[in-house]
Structure 1
């Protein structure tokens, strides 16, 4: 299963990136996350790990496998019969605006079965995350402008 969504955000790419990479704050702006716990200190970078708890899903540990600071990161988790790869891209649209592109890909022997049972939920969660990030970044931008 592959799914991708994009949302335009009335905030700078730097603001979007900062909120996006503060992964422990995700539950504050997305109901798709119950908790996210970084397993080490410091900037999000290749090798960083986080324990992610989501409603209706097993707790998973994601490891950052790619990172271009200010622009993108990819993290992955491996479960029984499935590998999940989640992508996060911040695009600069100019004039202080950004586009956030979130994607998820599931592969492995059980990925088809998992997609059958959890595909709709997975797509809902990715969409909720994009919309939540948009609200968080635009709210912060509006508050700073006041």
Structure 2
């Protein structure tokens, strides 16, 4: 099965608890994330996550996913079945290097038969959006 990863990593001058505070406030993602909005759900293993995804050059779509993993101050991961044998794993990871200095990654892993075709067609738009998301999260955490 083919897999493709798109990821953006950024240094953030804020402690992991500040970054986690922003990520775990699902209902207020619209305040900092212009591409993943109207997020609802609860932080519980296997819980449902719902959001509106509006990436540049792509039609807005409703995402229904399951929380795959979460660890306070460290990671938030949801899994979306996007069709027959095509899945997406969306993630945010926080690595605290020192108090007040973190590396934050946000990305997606596409897997399945259509994953490579989808990625090839939309690579630029997804990469651009994830770059913007990383910078917006950085501004929100450092502000």
TM-score (norm. length: structure 1): 0.83
* 1:88 counterpart = 2:80: no
Corresponding residue to 2:74 among 64, 71, 74: 71
User: C-alpha separation between the residues in 1 aligned to 2:60 and 2:120?
Assistant: 14
| 2:35 aligned partner | 32
| 1:142 aligned partner | none
Pair 1:34–1:87, CA change in 2 (3 A)? closer
Structure 1 residues 1-35: Cα deviation after superposition (integer angstroms, max 9, x where no partner):
21111111111110001101212222211221242
Q: Which has the higher helix share?
A: 1
Pair 1:102–1:72, CA change in 2 (3 A)? same
1:52-131 paired onto structure 2 within 5 Å: 52-55=51-54, 56-81=59-84, 82-131=86-135
| 1:20 aligned partner | 23
Measured after TM superposition, the shift of residue 137 of structure 1 is 0.7
Measured after TM superposition, the shift of residue 116 of structure 1 is 2.5
SS in 1 for 2:35: coil
Contact kept? 2:49, 2:78, Cα under 8 Å: no
Measured after TM superposition, the shift of residue 74 of structure 1 is 1.5
Measured after TM superposition, the shift of residue 37 of structure 1 is 2.0
Q: Which has the higher strand share?
A: 2
Measured after TM superposition, the shift of residue 51 of structure 1 is 0.9
User: C-alpha separation between the residues in 1 aligned to 2:44 and 2:96?
Assistant: 20
Structure 1 residues 61-104: Cα deviation after superposition (integer angstroms, max 9, x where no partner):
12111222221121110011420001211111213222111121
